[in-house]
Amino acid sequence: MADADDVRRLALALPHVVEIDSDGFDFRVGNKGFVWSYPERVPGKPRVLRTDIAVLYVGDEAEKQALLLGEPVRFFTTPGYDGLPLVMLRLGEVTVDRLAELITDAWRMRAPQDIAGTV
């Protein structure tokens, strides 16, 4: 199963990735986020960055729904993410190989066209 160290290793292996200073992890390409720690918000409590859960950019609502419906043990969302092309991934429920695929796909969708074609 995957963890935050795997996220960091996989994201930083991709071209032109920048890690943003964070209590968790937060990766950008072309100044656009593609994977970061889940900022859990519980009413009445301060926000907590969950490094056991990754937020992934998925491109569009159709892909989001496909992941949520097809793999509900791995993926979830919250009302704060309604209408956004983002899903939360429970890292403990995914293999490193699958995580690599998801991170690379998110990176490709966010990277500038001239960079995205290199991977």
Confidence class for position 9, pLDDT limits 50, 70, 90? very high
Mean pLDDT across the chain: 95
Predicted confidence (pLDDT) at residue 82 exceeds the cutoff of 90: yes
Question: Coil, strand, or helix at residue 109?
Answer: helix
Tens digits of residue pLDDT in 31-77 = 999 999 999 988 899 999 999 999 999 999 999 999 999 999 999 99
% of the chain residues with pLDDT over 90: 90
Domains and CATH numbers, the chain: 4-116 (3.90.1150.30)
DSSP states of 41-74: --TTS--EEEEEEEEEE-SSHHHHHHHHHH-TTT
Q: What is the C-alpha separation between 72 and 74, in angstroms, rounded?
A: 5
Q: What is the C-alpha separation between 65 and 99, in angstroms, rounded?
A: 18
